Amino acid sequence: MKCGEHTEAETNLRCGKCEKLICPKCMVQTPVGARCHDCAGLKRLPVFDMSAAFYMRGIAAGLIAAFVAGFAWSVVEGVIHFFYVGLLIAAGMGWGVGEVISRAVNRKQGTGLAVVAGVSMVVCFVVYLLFSGGLHFSFMSIGLGLVSLIIGIYTAVKHFK
């Protein structure tokens, strides 16, 4: 007898509920015995179950947070103009953008939200550049700006991994 899902697998095992033939690969062990995937009722965890509405809320919150954080970043760095303070500010802005998105989607997690957070930090960095006058074209300035961006993206994405 052949498995209902894997036609190359021979089996004598049946689902305890619907009696469908199942092989060890597609068997789900439940407290009441072996079941097929359909009868086992496997569902995604609610924290990873995302609808389009949650993504839209995350994108909207991310863009709003990115604009506010980018402007705040340029103001703070303009007042406190110490060379490496931009790295700390980038980490703080990344945490803030990630936290705003996380709260907007009820602390849900997933790769899609991590992408939203990363893109939001890129937008935040662009807004920062627009309000601060841009990067000066020196290797040190461009390098420090890219490192700041990477730190911001990392701290924003960490909320969703």
Q: List pLDDT tens digits, range 44-99.
A: 666 777 889 999 999 999 999 999 999 998 888 877 766 677 788 899 999 999 99
Q: Are residues 145 and 87 in the same domain?
A: yes
- Structural domain harbouring 35: 1-42
Helix, strand, coil % in the chain, rounded to nearest 5: 60, 5, 35
Q: Are residues 17 and 80 in the same domain?
A: no
In a domain, 113, yes or no: yes
Q: Are residues 17 and 66 in the same domain?
A: no
Q: Are residues 34 and 62 in the same domain?
A: no
Q: Are residues 70 and 120 in the same domain?
A: yes
Q: Which of 45, 59, 44 is nearest to 113 (CA)?
A: 59
Q: Are residues 95 and 143 in the same domain?
A: yes
For residue 152, name the pLDDT band (cuts at 50, 70, 90): very high
In a domain, 47, yes or no: no
- For the segment 15-34, what is each residue's pLDDT rounded down to a tens digit? 888 888 888 888 888 888 88
- Global confidence as pTM: 0.72
